[in-house]
């Protein structure tokens, strides 16, 4: 399974930007980079995904390195509600079926 490497934990302050890094040196050409987050006592929720180009949505931005071996999830203005575990995942197709393999993720703490 495709492996990603993330810091175990990060801390930031409310209303400041947060940059969550992810390394995926074994990424293949067809792997999409997905980010999910899991708030306490909830199931994971989708944040954003991309293939080669940087992506923006209402929740976050995803910056993908030119060689695709790393990416960064950017929360532009963190709120207390953004405190969660963030998972960087390589989506693979196994016999055509989409498969996500979750790692340990990064636990993000937001200070008021």
Q: Is 99 in the site for other proteins (CB under 8 A)?
A: yes
Stretch that binds other proteins, among 21-29, 66-74, 75-83, 88-96 (CB under 8 A): 88-96
Q: Which of 32, 61, 63, 74 binds other proteins (CB under 8 A)?
A: 32
Under a CB-based contact definition with an 8 Å cutoff, are residues 104 and 4 in contact?
A: no
Q: Is 93 in the site for other proteins (CB under 8 A)?
A: yes
Asked whether 34 and 73 are in contact (CB, 8 A), the reply is no
Between 8 and 67, name the residue whose CB sits nearer to other proteins. 8
φ, ψ for residue 9, nearest 5 deg:
-150, 155
């Amino acid at each position: 399974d495709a492996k990603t490497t993330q810091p175990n934990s990060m801390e930031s302050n409310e209303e400041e930007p947060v940059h969550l890094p992810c390394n995926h040196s074994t990424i293949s050409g067809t792997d999409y980079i997905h980010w999910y987050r899991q708030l306490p006592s909830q199931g994971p929720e989708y944040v954003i995904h991309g293939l080669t180009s940087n992506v923006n949505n209402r929740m976050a931005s995803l910056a993908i390195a030119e060689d695709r071996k790393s990416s960064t999830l950017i929360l532009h203005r963190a709120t207390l509600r953004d405190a969660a575990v963030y998972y960087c995942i390589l989506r693979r197709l196994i016999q055509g079926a989409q498969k996500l393999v979750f790692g340990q993720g990064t636990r993000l703490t937001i200070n008021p």
